[in-house]
């Protein structure tokens, strides 16, 4: 079977507070970029599935050339191949349209794995949008894969405060959460192999789609208002509690 992981290159979370509005608007960031942390769990899920149910995991991203680094990281963790869709996608709908076209072109994908959200875009919309464009079922909040084969997959899903065991037919999109497992460290051998893997680069034209126009317009990028916090320190719990009760939120 073939598992395809959607990864995105996103800012190192430690440096997110440094993003300024101009950079956010242009998308040209001067800070360190890494694999979106939620997507590391998706990579782990794909590797676990390939070990447990057979087959091979590959990675894909929609981004500029520099995102090759994120694909190499996915290869170093154990993915066997990687594809770059070299397009500046305007919004989640556009990313999903391009990913769906790439999945169709690859042809033999049984399961698409995604993270829960990106730490820059934050919408969490791409997995569901991708599934709808493919006409495949999607399960979000996947905490555990219980059984998978070419016909169907059974997973544990977390939604709000509830947990479900659900089964959907394949092919399917699975959006995973952290409970699926921490991602493994790249091995020395995989890092060396990763450097040698040839990464095909596709554009929208190669995928026989138009680069989708934006359906969401984003403007007026700004910093959130700074917290008006000047900490009042107390020596004992009694005085602190009086101050908190005076806030009248309890």
Partner 1 sequence: MKILVFIETDNGDVVASSWEALGKALSLSDDVAALVVGHNVGDVASEAGARGASVVYVVDDASRAEFDLDLVVADTKAALAEAGTNALLAVHTGNGRDLAAAVAADLNAGFLADCLELRQEDGVLVGVRPLYSGNILADVRAASDVQIATLRPRSAEAAANTGASADIVTLQPAAVDSRMQVLEVKHAETGEISLTDANVIVSGGRGVAKDPELGFKLIRELADTLGAAVGASRAAVDAGFIEYKHQVGQTGKVVRPDMYIACGISGAVQHLAGMSSSKIIVAINKDSEAPIFSVANYGIVGDLFEVVPAMNEAFKAKLNKG
Ligand X SMILES: Cc1cc2nc3c(=O)[nH]c(=O)nc-3n(C[C@H](O)[C@H](O)[C@H](O)COP(=O)(O)OP(=O)(O)OC[C@H]3O[C@@H](n4cnc5c(N)ncnc54)[C@H](O)[C@@H]3O)c2cc1C
Binding interface with ligand AMP (CB under 6 A): 6-8, 36, 38-39, 42, 61-63, 89, 92, 95, 114-115, 117-118, 121-127
Q: Which of 107, 188, 196, 250 binds partner 1 (CB under 8 A)?
A: 250
To the nearest whole angstrom, how small is the minimum distance from the Cβ of residue 237 to ligand AMP?
Answer: 41
Q: Is 93 in the site for partner 1 (CB under 8 A)?
A: yes
Q: Is 37 in the site for ligand X (CB under 6 A)?
A: yes
Q: Is 32 in the site for ligand X (CB under 6 A)?
A: no
Region of residue 162 (left: phi > 0; alpha: psi -120 to 50; beta: else): beta
Query: Is residue 115 helix, strand or coil?
Result: coil
Q: Which of 120, 199, 209, 211 binds partner 1 (CB under 8 A)?
A: 120
* HEC sequence for 127-187: HHHHHHHHCCCEEEEEEEEEEECCCEEEEEEEECCEEEEEEEECCEEEEECHHHCCCCCCC
User: Which one of ligand X, ligand AMP, partner 1, none interacts with residue 36, CB within 5 to 8 A by kind?
Assistant: ligand AMP
To the nearest whole angstrom, how small is the minimum distance from the Cβ of residue 154 to ligand X?
Answer: 28
Distance (Å) of CA 165 to CA 3, 117, 141, 145, 168: 21, 22, 11, 10, 10
To the nearest whole angstrom, how small is the minimum distance from the Cβ of residue 62 to ligand AMP?
Answer: 4
Q: Which of 105, 178, 184, 193 binds partner 1 (CB under 8 A)?
A: 178
Distance (Å) of CA 58 to CA 6, 101, 169: 9, 16, 21
Residue 117 to residue 125: CA distance in whole angstroms: 8
Q: Is 216 in the site for partner 1 (CB under 8 A)?
A: yes
To the nearest whole angstrom, how small is the minimum distance from the Cβ of residue 123 to ligand X?
Answer: 18
């Amino acid at each position: 079977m073939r598992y395809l992981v959607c990864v995105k290159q996103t800012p190192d979370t430690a440096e997110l507070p440094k993003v300024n509005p101009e950079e956010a608007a242009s998308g040209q960031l001067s800070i360190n970029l890494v694999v979106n942390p939620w997507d590391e769990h998706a990579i782990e899920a794909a590797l676990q599935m390939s070990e447990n149910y057979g087959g091979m995991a590959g990675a894909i991203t929609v981004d500029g050339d520099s995102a090759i680094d994120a694909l190499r990281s996915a290869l170093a963790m154990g993915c066997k191949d990687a594809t770059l869709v070299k397009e500046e996608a305007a919004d989640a709908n556009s990313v999903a349209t391009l990913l769906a076209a790439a999945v169709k072109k690859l042809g033999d994908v049984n399961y698409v794995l995604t993270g829960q959200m990106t730490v820059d875009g934050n919408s969490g919309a791409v997995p569901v949008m991708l599934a709808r464009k493919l006409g495949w079922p999607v399960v979000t909040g996947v905490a555990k894969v219980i059984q998978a084969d070419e016909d169907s997959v059974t997973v544990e899903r977390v939604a709000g405060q509830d947990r479900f065991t659900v089964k959907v037919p394949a092919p399917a999109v699975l959006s995973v959460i952290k409970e699926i497992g921490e991602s493994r460290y790249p091995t020395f051998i995989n890092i060396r192999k990763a450097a040698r893997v040839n990464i095909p680069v596709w554009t929208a034209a190669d995928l026989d789609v138009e680069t989708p126009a934006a359906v969401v317009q984003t403007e007026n990028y700004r910093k959130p208002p700074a917290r008006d916090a000047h900490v009042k320190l107390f020596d004992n719990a009694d005085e602190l509690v009086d101050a908190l009760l005076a806030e009248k939120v309890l």
